[in-house]
Structure 1
Amino acid sequence: MAIIELKHVHYAYGVGTSFEKQALNNISFSVDPGDFLAIVGHTGSGKSTLIRHLNGLLRPDSGQVFIHGKDLWSQMKDRRSVRFQIGLVFQYPETQLFEDTVGKDIAFGPKNMGLNEQEVKQRVQEALAFVGLDASYLERNPFRLSGGEMRRVAIAGVLAMRPSVLVLDEPTAGLDFDGRALILQQLEQFRIKSGAAIILVTHNMDDIAEHAQRVIVLHEGRMVLSGTTASVFSEADILKQCGLDVPQITRVLIKLKERGLPVRTDAITLEAAEREILKLFREGG
């Protein structure tokens, strides 16, 4: 059974006013355990609005949101518990920090789940280790950490609740290559170890190519593409019309193809492109 399923979701801001804007239009998709789904789209496409529907922060004007098969707005009485199951990390997650020590900040979610002190302590330690920080951070002030460390603490606070789905809105924004790679590697390890699903909202096509299994493309509140990562990136013209691009390595292969070289353009990772180019040399291209 899918963890999350959306059916024909519509949502508008400012309904009945001169500022009314349709933010989501007929959105349907599902998320299964272990999925790694990327949601992409130009600024204003509806990405942030969409993910706020996944844990009940926003209610659709029409359509349905199901969590583990139950309608979030008609069958589930305890919608607060959904926030523990669907962990949402906003863009620049360090703004979610508010306690005076790292340990207290990570413990906030588990404590509100009603867990006993020993369980809370264990979850805090596990989450901190998972994001690559040691126990010396527990008593440190989170606001005196580096930007990358603050972000990892914020993510650890969500991981400590052990969500079924981890939703992240541009978690690597503003980070350098190494910082971005570290966070994405940690998220991948969490997905594999826990069996949880990850939904990643990002503009970075290379990150998507490296990690995502499926991609949804939003444009002006509509789903214009949905499918495997390779199939979505093969639609370079549609992506361009939406103000998006394909991974850098895919652009290289497209240029080679335009020059008449017999290469496939559906390679989306460095390893796949390397195999394609080596094959070209072996065949005398």
Structure 2
Amino acid sequence: MGRSAVNGGWSEWPAPAKLNLFLRITGRRNDGYHELQTVFRLLDWGDRIFLRSRDDGRVVRHGDRLPGVEDAADLAVRAASLLKDAANCTQGADISVEKHIPAGGGFGGGSSDAATVLCALDRLWGLDMGEDRLAALGLQLGADVPVFVRGRSAWAEGVGERLESIALPPAWYVLVDPGIHVPTAALFQSPDLTRDSPPAKMADFAAGTVLDNAFETVLRRREPAVEAVFAELARIGLPRLTGTGSGCFVEFAQRDAAQDALARLPRRLRAWVAAGVSDSPLHGAMARL
């Protein structure tokens, strides 16, 4: 379903991607989850979500699906159903997702889709649940969902749910998708993974001395395609990994520099440029209503 979906009662909403500008594992919790530190940077690029209210209470997914993902397991559908139950809402929704964010890349596509559904349906259904309640619902769907609900780049700790907004300078990123999807659970089980890094300080990150990703060594050893992308990106700058996916990026202070660097990469790479943003495009769309 494309942009014509805004006719016939449909509305269109952005679901922005993110980068993890660094990612450390600082320990393990009693519940088996890992303690993390990261900085989420929201981008001006991402998926598009199309929504339409229904009077029969059903949540219906339209259009293309991710291979192997049933509608009941789809994060966008789960977000709508969770919001319905939490608000005891009798309305339903038609949902269509225009995917641009590659699955398994660490760019946050599924989490962002879920957050957009929560925030947009809260508005369309007239629920007015508030940011804190929506973020709490989002956490039930995934650790990355709250940052997309809150819509601001953030320093994050815990499993990624403890967020503190952070001011970041303008930046543009050359992004590359190697096309590799490794299950997160498999990465966390790797014997090569460093699980006890010293906690980073925000001042060190601001000074540019904290850029590491705990999963980089694991993925580069495990996946030749990721190692090959790092070798290509090293010709234009400092390659980095985002999240627990295979997505890679290089940061630039100016758009022209990013575009010039992109032009020097082999055409066979799936590469593009996106800008970092201070506030989510989703919040901008909601403010214009």
Q: After TM superposition, is the score higher than 0.5?
A: no
Q: TM-score, normalised by structure 2?
A: 0.28
Q: TM-score, normalised by structure 1?
A: 0.28
Greater per-residue strand proportion = 2
Higher relative contact order (CA 8 A, sep 6+): 2
Structure with max Cα Rg: 1
Greater per-residue helix proportion = 1
